[in-house]
Amino acid sequence: MARTQNSTDAASANEKKTKKKIFELKLYIAGQTPRSIAAFSNLKKICDTHLAGQYKITIIDLLKNPKLAQGDQIIAIPTLVKQLPEPVRKIIGDLSNTEKVLIGLDIKPLDV
């Protein structure tokens, strides 16, 4: 599992400190395809905008670690899994639609 004991501890520690939710995100990709690169850059943008300092992204390349597809029931690529805070949600696609991603992550968009 990519989710390490360390990061969970850090996340809970962070949560206590800031009293803010830490978003633990996993992005499943299969190789460095244009689509997965796009997904990652889209995600990064959204997180930086709406979840500054509140997120942790783990990128899992299934080509390198095919075993991991089973655990999170990954079928589509790319898939973003919001592990924390609960409930677990999945967003599939290249994350080009920011609004939908925010709904998927259950984040109220900041008024810009």
Binding site for other proteins (CB under 8 A): 28, 30, 35, 39, 42, 62-63, 66-67, 69-70, 73-79, 87-97, 100-101, 103-104
Q: How many CB atoms lie within 10 A of CB 57?
A: 14
- Residue among 10 and 57 whose Cβ is closer to other proteins: 57
* CB contact set of 88 (below 8 Å; sequence gap of 6+): 81, 82
Backbone angles phi, psi at 60, to 5 degrees: -115, 120
3-state secondary structure of 67: coil
- 62, 65, 102: which is closest to 79 by C-alpha? 62
- Residue among 69 and 84 whose Cβ is closer to other proteins: 69
Nearest approach, Cβ of residue 16 and other proteins (Å):
27
Nearest approach, Cβ of residue 7 and other proteins (Å):
22
Nearest approach, Cβ of residue 11 and other proteins (Å):
21
Nearest approach, Cβ of residue 91 and other proteins (Å):
4
